[in-house]
Structure 1
C-alpha cells in the first residue's frame, strides 16, 4: 500500500511547475522565428563560418572547408520544424489572430525553402511535411515550381498580415503586423531579383510582381525595419562573437577583399570593421593611418596564412566584436540591402520614377548609419575616424563612389557597396550574390582551392546523404532531371541558367 501510494504522486512530485505542459501559438511562433534567425546566425566560430565563404574573414586555427571553397553535402534537417506551422495555426485564436499566425507560417516556410532551393536546386516541396499522412519519401519539385509556390505564399502572407492583428510570441517585431508586411514584401523583392535571368518565364511575372510591390505595398522604410536580432548583456542574448566562452576570438584575420576595397574608396568603415596591425602601430603608425591596416589574401595556401598570423603583422577584427556583449544587431535582411536591390532593379530597367543613383546613395547612407549608430563613441572602436553625416555626404559625392559608367559597371558598384555594408551580416547571402552576379570578384587560387576544377568557385551544395539513403528514388530522379545524373557542386541550378 505504501508503494502504491508513493507511485500515485510520482508525476506530481516530479513535475516542473515552471514548465509549459501544453503548446500554444505564441510558443510555436517564437520557436519558428528563432529557428530562422538565432539558429542561422549561430555563435563562436560557427558565426564566422559563412563569412569564410564570402571572403570577408579569414580563420587561422585550421584550414576551414568553407574558406577553401569545399561545400560538401547540405542537410534537410532544418525542414521538419515546419510541421509546427500547422500546430501554431491550429492553436491560434480565431479571426485576426489566426490570419497573423497563418501569414507568419507562410513566411517562415518561404524563407526556409528559398534558402534550401538556393543551395541545391530541386527539393521536396508540395509532397513534403506529410509524415503524419505516412508520406515518408516525398517526391521532388522543380526549382521553378518551388519558387512559384514561394512567391504565391508571400503574396498571401502580405494579405493575411494586412487582415491580421498584433500577435504574441514575436522576438523580432513584437507582433507588429505592419512591420511583418514590410519584411514579407522586401523578402519577395529579393526572391524576384534573384530571378533576373528568368524574366522570360511569363507565368512567374517577375518584373510585373516587382513593380507592383514597389508601387503599392509596404516595404522597409528605415534601419528600424531591419529583420535582425538585437543583443544585450544577458546569458543567451550576447553578441555571437563576444569573448565570453569563445576561444575563437584570437584566430580571425581581415580579408584583403574587404580591406582593399575600403582603402581604395577611402571608406571609414575600415576603422569600424578592423583593428590596425599591431606591428604597424608598434613601428609608430597612428591608429587612424590607412596604411596601418593590412588585409590578407583569403585564397593563400593555409601555411602562408599561418606564417603571417605568426608575425602578427595583419589586421584582426575590430575589438567591438569581441569586447561588447551587445556589439551590433545581426540582420538577415536590411533597409540598406533593399535600397541596393531597388538601385539594381532601376539599372536593369524594371522600375522607374526614382533614379538608381538616389537608391544607391540611400543604401550607402543606411549602411554607414547602421554601423555608426551601433558603435560607441570610443577610439578603441572607430580609431578616431568617426562616421558622421557630413562624412557620409562627402563620401557619396566622391568620384570614387558616385554611380557611373555602363550598366554592368553600375551593377558592380551596387553589388560592391551591398557587400561592404553586409560585413558579418546576412549569413551566406553575399556568397549567393557573388554567385548570381560575379560581384565583387572573389580570388581563386588553384594551389589552395578545394574545388575541382581548382580554377573556379563551386556553385551549389550536394544533396544530403540521408536523402540518398532513405529517399533514393526521388533524389536520383531529381539529379537526373537537373544534371544528367551527376550530383556535382559545379552544376548550375535552374535559377542561375
Structure 2
C-alpha cells in the first residue's frame, strides 16, 4: 500500500511541475478559448429553425395528416397524445449575447435576437400546453427560483407580443451582426421576421378578437401599415440544406432506414386532384399499380392516397396492392432537398388573407389568398430540379402558375366561414412537410381542413370522434414543481390534465 501511495505522490508532483507545459501542448491553436456573442447566437438560431431527422421529422406530419405511416400503429396518426415538453434550456444563456457584444449597436441586435427567441419558445410551449411558467421562468440562476409559478395563458400571450415588439425596436436600432446562418446578420431581414411572426401569433388569438387588453385588430393593423414584413420567398424563416454531414434534408435517404414507410395521405392527394393542382406531382410519386396498368406519371388518375384514419390492418392491405403513392423522390434522393420552413411568405399571405376576411384590416382577402398560392408554387418550383423525375412532366412553371392563380379569384367564396375554410385549406396544401405543427394549430382553432376521424382506429379513448386539443404537462413538473402545476391544472381544467379540454385561446 505504501508503495502505491508513493507512486501516486510522484505522479502528482510530476503533473504539477509540468502543468504549464501540459496546457501548452493541449491548447488547440485552431479553437477559441472565449465564448462570443456570435457563438451563442448561432446555437440559438439553429435550435429555433432546425427540425429533427428521419422518422422524427415526419411525426408532426402524421398528426397534420400529410402522410400515412406503415411501420406500425403510430400515435400521432391515430390522434394519440401524451405529455408535451416544457424546457427553455435552449435560451437560458441568451442574455449573455448582449454582455459579450463589442459595441452598443451590436448589443441591441443581440438583444433583439434574445427577445425573439424567448417569444418563440414561450409561444410554442403555451400553444401545446396552455398556462405555463413565464414571469418566473429562467430565474433559477439569477433569483434561485427553481419552482416557477404558472402564468395564465392570456398573460403569457401579452408577454409574447411585448417581447416581439421589443425585438423589433432592438433590431431597428442595432447593426448587422455575426453568427446568423439564416439572414447573414441583416437586422432589416430580422425585423421582417419578427413582425411577420407577430402577425402569426395574433391570428392564433382569433377567438379573442374582442379582448381589449390584447387589442388584436389594432396591433395587426399597426404592423401591416407601419412595420416591415415578409414580401417574398426570399424572406422565409427557413434553413437551407447542404450536402454535408448534419446539414442534409431531414428525410434524405443516406443512413435513413425509414424511407419505405411513409405514404402520401388522401387528405392531400384528393384535394390536389380535385383542384387540378400540379403540386401533386411534386409531393408524390404515382401509384406503381396504376403505372403498370398504363397510366402516365403526368396523369392525375395515376395518383391515389390512403385515408390516414383507416384501421392499420386495412392500410397494410392496401399497401400490399401497390396502389398508393410514395413520397416524391425529391424528399429522399436529393441531399439538399428543399429548405425547411418554420414560417414562410406563403403562410404569411394566408394569415393576412384570413385577417382581411375577418375584417381586421382593409385589405383584399382574395388578393392575399392568390399571393399565398402563388408563393407556395413558386417556392416548390425554384427549389426542385426541373426534371421529370421530380415533377413528372407537370412543372409549376410561370405559365401554369399565372393561369392557375388567376382562376382562383372566380372560385373564391363569398361567405365568411367558407372563405376561412378556403384560406386554411390552401394554407394546409402549401405547407406540405413544412412548419411542423402549424397546420394542426390552425385545424384546432378553425376546424379546417375537415380531416376524417375514425372512432374505430382512434387512440383518443376519452373522445374517439375528436382530435385532442393539447398535450398533458410533463411528468417532471408533477415531480419537481407539483404545487404550481397542480394549481394551473385546477385553474384551467377543473383539476384534470385532460388532452381534450380546450385551453384559454380556444374558448
Aligned match of 1:407:
416
Matched, 1:28 2:40: yes
Aligned match of 2:390:
381
Q: 11-20 vs 211-220, which deviates more?
A: 11-20
Q: Which runs of 4+ in 1 moved over 4 A?
A: 1-4
Deviation per CA, 1:252-292: give whole Å up to 9, x if none.
Answer: 10000000000000000000000001111112111111111
2 CA distance for matches of 1:218 and 1:460? Answer: 33
Q: 1:277 aligns with which of 277, 280, 287?
A: 287
* Superposed displacement of residue 198, structure 1: 0.8
Aligned match of 1:214:
224
Aligned match of 1:433:
442
Partner secondary structure for residue 248 of structure 1 = coil
* Superposed displacement of residue 188, structure 1: 0.3
Deviation per CA, 1:301-348: give whole Å up to 9, x if none.
Answer: 111112222222200000011000111111110111111111111110
Q: How does 1:383-398 map to 2 (within 5 A)?
A: 383-398=392-407
Q: 1:299 aligns with which of 309, 329, 347?
A: 309
2 CA distance for matches of 1:450 and 1:224? Answer: 41
Partner secondary structure for residue 140 of structure 1 = coil
2 CA distance for matches of 1:301 and 1:19? Answer: 55
Partner secondary structure for residue 244 of structure 1 = coil
Aligned match of 1:18:
30
Aligned match of 2:195:
185
* Superposed displacement of residue 478, structure 1: 0.3
Aligned match of 2:149:
139
Q: Is the 8 A contact 2:366 2:409 kept in 1?
A: no
Partner secondary structure for residue 258 of structure 2 = helix
Structure 2: tracts of 5 or more residues without a match: 1-12
Q: Is the 8 A contact 1:68 1:448 kept in 2?
A: yes
Partner secondary structure for residue 210 of structure 1 = helix
Residues 163 and 314 (structure 1), Cα distance of their counterparts in 2 relative to 1, 3 Å cut: same
1 CA distance for matches of 2:300 and 2:90? Answer: 47
Q: 3-12 vs 382-391, which deviates more?
A: 3-12
Structure 1: tracts of 5 or more residues without a match: none
Deviation per CA, 1:415-445: give whole Å up to 9, x if none.
Answer: 0110000001000001001101111011111
Aligned match of 2:49:
37
Q: 2:119 aligns with which of 110, 116, 119?
A: 110
Aligned match of 1:309:
319
Aligned match of 1:446:
455
Aligned match of 2:369:
360
Partner secondary structure for residue 411 of structure 2 = coil
Q: 450-459 vs 300-309, which deviates more?
A: 300-309
Partner secondary structure for residue 95 of structure 2 = helix
Partner secondary structure for residue 332 of structure 2 = helix
Matched, 1:349 2:373: no
Q: Is the 8 A contact 2:330 2:390 kept in 1?
A: yes
Give aligned pairs, total: 493
Q: Is the 8 A contact 1:181 1:219 kept in 2?
A: yes
Q: 86-95 vs 255-264, which deviates more?
A: 86-95
Partner secondary structure for residue 263 of structure 2 = strand
Q: Is the 8 A contact 2:108 2:170 kept in 1?
A: yes
Aligned match of 1:372:
381
Q: 1:200 aligns with which of 210, 218, 227?
A: 210
2 CA distance for matches of 1:15 and 1:61? Answer: 48
Q: Is the 8 A contact 1:265 1:401 kept in 2?
A: no
* Superposed displacement of residue 396, structure 1: 2.2
Please tell me whether Structure 1 or Structure 2 has the larger radius of gyration of its CA atoms.
Answer: 2
State the TM-score, normalizing by the size of structure 1. 0.97
Matched, 1:318 2:328: yes
